[in-house]
């Protein structure tokens, strides 16, 4: 279960085409710079965002990214929530395994993003959609 915290600021970014995925990277980078994450953390977060953003586009048929700054006690973090109304993932466990792919590519998006972030939560319903939420704490 993902940690709930108080939400501070938020931003919503549409993901409808590949330029939007570039925009996702740019916006997430702007956020992590402002939140003063270390360089390695910045790279991990933006890369995870790129993976999940691309998944939303290619497997979810397009959707949204909701960025949020969260606080839990004395620590603060960045939360990324990718949601789509696509076909959903039939076998989440399988999808999280490295190397699994339902289409082109090496299928590292989900499992890889999980490793790059501190917290990971996925909700998916067939023919309804998928929401992936990840958090990285400072």
Partner 1 sequence: MERIPILRMGNFLLVTIQVDMHDQLALTLQDDLTNRIAEVGAKGVLIDISSLEIVDSFIGRTLANIASMARVLDAETVVVGMQPAVAITLVELGMPLPGIRTALNVESGMDHLREILTSHEENYDYDGDSTED
For partner 1, the binding residues (CB under 8 A) are 18-19, 21-22, 25-26, 29, 39-40, 42-44, 46-47, 50-51, 54, 98, 105-106, 108-109, 111-112, 115-116
Cα separation, 52 vs 80, in Å, equals 9
- Helix or strand (DSSP H, E) at 66: strand 63-72
Q: Which is nearer to partner 1, 47 or 85 (CB)?
A: 47
Q: Which is nearer to partner 1, 68 or 116 (CB)?
A: 116
Q: Which is nearer to partner 1, 47 or 76 (CB)?
A: 47
Query: 39-58 and 18-34 are packed helices; what angle lies between their axes, rounded to 10 degrees?
Result: 150
Cα separation, 63 vs 65, in Å, equals 7
Q: Least distance from C-beta 29 to partner 1, angstroms?
A: 8
């Amino acid at each position: 279960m993902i940690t709930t915290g108080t939400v501070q600021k938020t931003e919503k970014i549409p993901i409808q085409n590949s330029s939007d995925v570039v925009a996702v990277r740019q916006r997430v980078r702007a956020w992590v710079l402002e939140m003063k994450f270390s360089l390695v953390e910045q790279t991990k977060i933006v890369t995870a965002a790129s993976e999940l953003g691309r998944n939303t586009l290619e497997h979810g048929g397009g959707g949204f990214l909701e960025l949020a700054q969260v606080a839990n006690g004395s620590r603060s973090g960045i939360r990324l929530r990718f949601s789509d109304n696509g076909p959903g993932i039939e076998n989440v466990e399988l999808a999280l395994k490295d190397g699994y792919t339902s289409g082109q590519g090496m299928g590292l998006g989900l499992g890889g993003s999980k490793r790059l972030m501190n917290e990971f939560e996925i909700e998916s319903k067939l023919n309804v959609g998928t929401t992936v939420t990840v958090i990285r704490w400072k």
